[in-house]
A and B are shown apart, each in its own frame.
Chain A
Amino acid sequence: MSRSVPREVQVIERIAETATVFTLRVRFTDSRICRAYAFHPGQFNMLYLHGAGEIPISIVSDPEDEFALDHTIRAVGRVSQALAQVQPGDRLGLRGPFGRGWPLTQAIGNDVVILTGGLGCAPAVSAIHFIANRRAQYGHLNIIQGVRHADDMIWQARYKAWAQLPDTEVLLAADEAGTHWSGYLGHVTDLIENARFDPKNTIAMICGPELMMHNGVIELLKSGVPDDAIYLSIERNMHCAKGHCGHCQLGPHFVCRDGPVFNYADIRPWFAKAGI
């Protein structure tokens, strides 16, 4: 039921990440729903703002955080800009969770490469949390994040903290540097060759603009990671999130239901193809 009709949530906190990026911590007002709600990292919700509409937003909090669900949103258009005005105490609607998330079970025992670009970092953050909280179960963890401009790099503190985790590497890149930029200057996908992983025992998770993901796939394949060990989170226009409205089709796949996280081998014919 909560997948067809929104449930009311209350905004607990609004965190400004950058001038246009903000995080909304929300909690169901009905405690039964709160207890029953469970998600996997990489899944998303449809967030509804009264009078504005619904949009798909990934869940970035830890699945074990029973208190609230975090959504990190970039204000880009009608609904997301209206959501940017929301204040703690305000009520929204939420349907979800939808789709298939990251392959965190398959990744157990493997090295992990998490490659993200732009706000593409948001959907992957809950995967990072998940691995960080079960650090011993996974091999070497590479967190590779790129932004166009250094000033867009959000969660600097989190990256610093993650870099302190055992057996973990954080590699940051910016196409354009700011004044205090100490990371790599250039394309984020260049950093793949600096990452440490055993290509035959690696799971790669990529999220970001399609061109960046495409380049990331090429680099990973070059470094010997098999195509079916690469996972991508895809964005398409969405209305229903239930596999019915047809807007999110990527070739034969309904991104809302069969994705948004796909195994690269499954979508290869359709991925990064103009007009698909």
Chain B
Amino acid sequence: MCATVAVDPLAGFLPHSQLPALLHALHETGYRCIGPQARDGAIVFDELQDTADLPWGLIDVQEPGRYRLTEATSRRAFAWANGPQAIKPWVFQAHEPQWTAQRNAQGHIRFEAVHVAPQATAILGVRACDLAALQIQDCHFAGSRERDAAYLARRDHLLLIGIHCARSADTCFCVSTGDGPAIDRGADLILGEIDEGLIVSACSTAARRIFRLLPLERVRPEQWAMLRQEVTNNAGSQRRALPSQDLRNLLYAKLDSPHWSTIAERCLSCGNCTAVCPTCFCHQETDTSTLNGEWVTHAREWDSCFSDQHAHLAGLEIRSEVHLRYRQWLLHKLGTWHEQYGRSGCVGCGRCITWCPVGIDLTEEISAFSSEETST
């Protein structure tokens, strides 16, 4: 992902009034469409029946520990930056049955894998940061020799409709992580929104089929100029940042810093940051059985390194204290992730800052560790 929009000579222009044609084309080609909608005061992704349900004219105001939607000055569908959920739940589900076990009266047990049969799904309005996060999750769940069947099945049935960000929330810092605000890969269709409508580029075979069904106009040079200007200005507007260098050495040198305890004085260990983070992959596996005990369903559920059972060993709690849990989180996200997947685990979406009930901001904590280093 990158900071500027590349001009695509094959792109077309879709006026806002024609957006229903996109939904129609998706349905025609067999996709259900998941799209952004305003619900309970936040942007969420859910099945989109009607383009009138898009968050027209709404923007999000985000700051540490706070999120609210408000009216924008223009009537766009994608003027907001992001909501609490990335697209993670559509691939790595919050709850996913893995296998079942049935024990008969003789005590014999039959194990059966649970196969998912996903529907072809188009997700409309995917941000650059979330596409970057999806690539990271691809490496984790589908890149090693143990490929996760459910993840792969859902992933293979996705059509991703990305959108460049012409506006950032106050908490966004994707420019510093190199993950936004423009999209240059990872999406099937890429949209860029200006006041009159959307500039549409097709980047995959599946996307070209849909592209051809749209009542597109020629993109005028001033429309391209407008989009590029807005996205470039947006990139320049971000006030938060992570240092662009690999933070491994800083964090590895800070394992015993007293600053972890000062963070722990604020941290509630609630796990909100990991629940909203688009790259966190931790999950637990649990069994639920029918009342008579015959059937057991073994399922995985999202889990967090902030939970007290995450690192439990019989007779030994590895991370009983909150400062050790916060350290695990930051150390993994910005440090050991490099060794696991060749990059940091943070794509700069800012969600963990906004959705932290006490407003802990990882960019500030990193600054605190860095200045501690220069002062010692």
- Residues on A facing B (Cβ under 8 Å): 1, 3-8, 29, 48, 50-54, 76-77, 80, 89-93, 235-237, 239-240, 242-247, 249, 251-252, 254, 257, 269, 273-276
The 6 closest A-B pairs by CB, nearest first: A275-B324, A252-B339, A246-B282, A252-B336, A76-B314, A242-B146
Tell me the dominant secondary structure on chain B's binding face: mixed
Q: Closest residue to A75 on the B side, CB-wise?
A: B314
Residue B305 is within 8 A (CB to CB) of chain A in the complex: yes
27 pairs of residues in contact across A and B, judged by CB atoms under 8 Å: A4-B98, A5-B111, A6-B111, A7-B111, A8-B108, A8-B109, A29-B108, A50-B109, A51-B287, A51-B296, A76-B314, A91-B103, A93-B101, A236-B318, A237-B318, A239-B284, A243-B144, A244-B141, A244-B146, A245-B300, A246-B282, A249-B328, A249-B332, A252-B336, A274-B324, A275-B321, A275-B328
Residue B155 is within 8 A (CB to CB) of chain A in the complex: no
Q: Considering the chains assembled together, what is the distance between the CA atoms of A246 and B283 in angstroms?
A: 7
Q: Closest residue to B341 on the A side, CB-wise?
A: A252
Q: Considering the chains assembled together, what is the distance between the CA atoms of A166 and B76 in angstroms?
A: 83
Name the distance in Å between B276's Cβ and chain A's nearest Cβ: 16
| Contacting residues, chain B, for A77 (C-beta < 8 A) | 314
Residue B365 is within 8 A (CB to CB) of chain A in the complex: no
Contact of B282 among A50, A51, A80, A247 (CB under 8 A): A247
Residue B6 is within 8 A (CB to CB) of chain A in the complex: no
Most buried by B among A6, A53, A235, A244: A244
> A6, B101: Cβ atoms under 8 Å?
yes
| Contacting residues, chain A, for B9 (C-beta < 8 A) | none
| Contacting residues, chain A, for B112 (C-beta < 8 A) | 5
Query: With contacts A51-B289, A54-B298 known, what are 18 further pairs, Cβ within 8 A?
Result: A6-B99, A6-B101, A50-B103, A50-B109, A77-B314, A89-B107, A91-B103, A92-B109, A237-B312, A240-B300, A244-B148, A245-B283, A245-B300, A245-B303, A246-B303, A251-B336, A252-B336, A269-B252
> A235, B252: Cβ atoms under 8 Å?
no
Contact of B293 among A29, A50, A242 (CB under 8 A): A50
Name the distance in Å between A127's Cβ and chain B's nearest Cβ: 22
| Contacting residues, chain B, for A236 (C-beta < 8 A) | 311, 313, 318
> A237, B300: Cβ atoms under 8 Å?
no
| Contacting residues, chain B, for A257 (C-beta < 8 A) | 144, 146
> B146, A91: Cβ atoms under 8 Å?
no
Residue B315 is within 8 A (CB to CB) of chain A in the complex: yes
Q: Closest residue to B140 on the A side, CB-wise?
A: A244
Which residues between 79 and 117 of chain B lie within 8 Å of chain A, taking CB atoms? Answer: 98-99, 101, 103, 107-113
| Contacting residues, chain A, for B303 (C-beta < 8 A) | 245-247
Q: Closest residue to B325 on the A side, CB-wise?
A: A275
Q: Considering the chains assembled together, what is the distance between the CA atoms of A172 and B99 in angstroms?
A: 44
> B296, A50: Cβ atoms under 8 Å?
yes
- Residues on B facing A (Cβ under 8 Å): 98-99, 101, 103, 107-113, 140-141, 144, 146, 148-149, 252, 255, 281-287, 289, 293, 296, 298, 300, 303, 305, 309-315, 318-319, 321, 324, 327-328, 331-332, 336-340
Q: Considering the chains assembled together, what is the distance between the CA atoms of A242 and B101 in angstroms?
A: 20
Name the distance in Å between A30's Cβ and chain B's nearest Cβ: 11
| Contacting residues, chain B, for A269 (C-beta < 8 A) | 252
Name the distance in Å between B83's Cβ and chain A's nearest Cβ: 24
> B109, A245: Cβ atoms under 8 Å?
no
Q: Considering the chains assembled together, what is the distance between the CA atoms of A245 and B296 in angstroms?
A: 20
Q: Closest residue to A55 on the B side, CB-wise?
A: B314
Q: Considering the chains assembled together, what is the distance between the CA atoms of A5 and B303 in angstroms?
A: 21
> A76, B315: Cβ atoms under 8 Å?
yes
> A245, B108: Cβ atoms under 8 Å?
no
| Contacting residues, chain A, for B141 (C-beta < 8 A) | 244
| Contacting residues, chain A, for B285 (C-beta < 8 A) | 54, 239-240, 245
> B300, A252: Cβ atoms under 8 Å?
no
> B284, A245: Cβ atoms under 8 Å?
yes
Q: Considering the chains assembled together, what is the distance between the CA atoms of A251 and B284 in angstroms?
A: 19
Q: Considering the chains assembled together, what is the distance between the CA atoms of A91 and B107 in angstroms?
A: 7
> A239, B283: Cβ atoms under 8 Å?
yes
> A50, B319: Cβ atoms under 8 Å?
no
Contact (A93, B336) CB under 8 Å given A50-B296, A53-B287: no
Q: Considering the chains assembled together, what is the distance between the CA atoms of A89 and B108 in angstroms?
A: 10
> B99, A4: Cβ atoms under 8 Å?
yes
Q: Considering the chains assembled together, what is the distance between the CA atoms of A50 and B289 in angstroms?
A: 9
| Contacting residues, chain B, for A276 (C-beta < 8 A) | 318, 328
Q: Closest residue to B151 on the A side, CB-wise?
A: A244
Contact of A237 among B144, B281, B313 (CB under 8 A): B313
